Amino acid sequence: MRHILTILKWEISKIMSSWQKTLAIFLIPAAVLVGAITLFPKLLNYLSTGSTGNQKVVVVNAPDSFMQFDGRKDDLYNYVYMTDGEFDSEYGRNGQDTPAYDYVRDGKIIVTFGTMSDKPFDESVRNRYKTLIETGEDVYSGDAFLDVLYNAEQFTTQLKGEQFIADILSPYQAYLADTVMSEFGGYQSDAISVDDFNPITKILDNRAVANNQASRVIPGIMMILIYYCVYSLALDMIAMEKNRGFLNKLVMTPVSPYKLLAGKALAINILVTGSSLLTFFLLFVSSWLNRSNDAGSLLPFGLFLMPDQLIYMILSIPFCVFVLTGFCFLVAISLEKFEDVTANLQLVLLLLLIGFFIGMFVYWSPIGLEYVIPVHNTIALMKDILMSEVTPLGAFVVMTENFTVGFFLMRRCASKLNGGLR
């Protein structure tokens, strides 16, 4: 045990003594991944609308009630108000059946207020509610209407359009009912104004959606980061030392190959687990900073884990790192050329990247077979954790399997190191 701890301290001090290596392990991967997630919605917005700013919404004939509505989320939408004449003059029909066809096709949103009669929108709404209260009949003649136009054939624009309806128009309809009904209920009052950023209601309203979305993103991100760190450290601790002949000298010392590899593997596990937890913390924080809850965001607002879920997440990482370390060590020891080691380990990174992009479009829970595949079962377990479907037995099976596979890989590495380098 003393030899293992000596190797552990030596390897960690070697990494931490170089600020370049420390940044490469702890900060750069996490910063790059979090930055990519943050920029992803802006990239989608640019591809769909041609702008990285707020979603542009043209509002035609906006009534006073909409202008007074305090839930328009001006930080998310850039409104341009026009009359019918201004709208037709600037955009026109362009020979199409749908107004401003080219404008909508390019990813913009158009909201049109109007009535089937010559009455203003707000007056028409009041007359309908007045008739409903006095006669009990719902009169549709001369009713107000509200049209939302967006390009449903474009996936990103469809998301923006549906988000606008859910975020703005649905609350606006409730606002109209509150204000108009208060006028005919014998008292005058304004609609209750609710703080847009109420942590309690935000958690209740968005946690399920945020965790479900995160279950398709975070497991793949975490696995890519974990493997990248393990792969980099294994190259430094095994492949490069073997290439320089230093590993052969270490094997000739009184320290057994098993203890030598155990110390190096333990150092990797501590470093990579710490880096992974830091990344998860940054992903968690980035979710809570996304107050706009953009429909194109990979991490919508409200990601939240219960204490037991957080414990499962933390415990699953070291077991996954252990089996990946055993694999990387075995490849580094088995292959003679440093270039061959690098090529083989990079291939796995490519496969994980492909799996990540596939996982972004998987909307169902993992199947039974996924839990028996080493490393991949950790991705499945993380999905269950984020979707609140994890069970103690399932977590125990995944961790036990990864530890068992990792143990045999390390034993194989020690055997090859003992017989192949002496």
Give the model confidence (pLDDT) of 218-257 as tens digits.
Answer: 898 889 889 988 988 888 888 888 888 887 777 777 778 8
Place of tokens 């900073």: 289
> What SS3 state is found at 134?
helix
Q: What is the mean pLDDT of residues 195-215?
A: 70
What CA–CA distances, in Å, run from 128 to 67, 148, 181, 305, 341? 21, 22, 11, 46, 75
Q: Could you tell me the CA-to-CA distances from 179 to 174, 184, 192 in Å, in that order? A: 9, 9, 9
Bridge partners of residue 112, in order along the sequence: 60, 147
DSSP 21: H
Cα three-residue angle 123-125-127, rounded to 5 degrees? 70
Beta strand pairing status for 109-115 and 55-60? parallel
Determine the pLDDT at residue 321: 95
Q: Residue range 398-403: average pLDDT?
A: 94
* Other beta carbons within 10 Å of 95: 6
The span from the CA of 409 to the CA of 422, in Å, is: 20
Judged on CB neighbours under 10 Å (0-12, 13-18, 19+), 261 is buried
Find all residues with CB under 8 Å of 226, minimum gap 6, and list them: 272, 276, 317, 320, 321, 324
Kindly report whether the global pTM for this prediction surpasses the value 0.75: no
Share of the chain above pLDDT 90, in %: 15
Amino acid at 349: L
pLDDT at 187: 45
pLDDT in tens, 157-204: 777 777 788 778 888 888 877 776 666 555 444 444 555 556 666 666
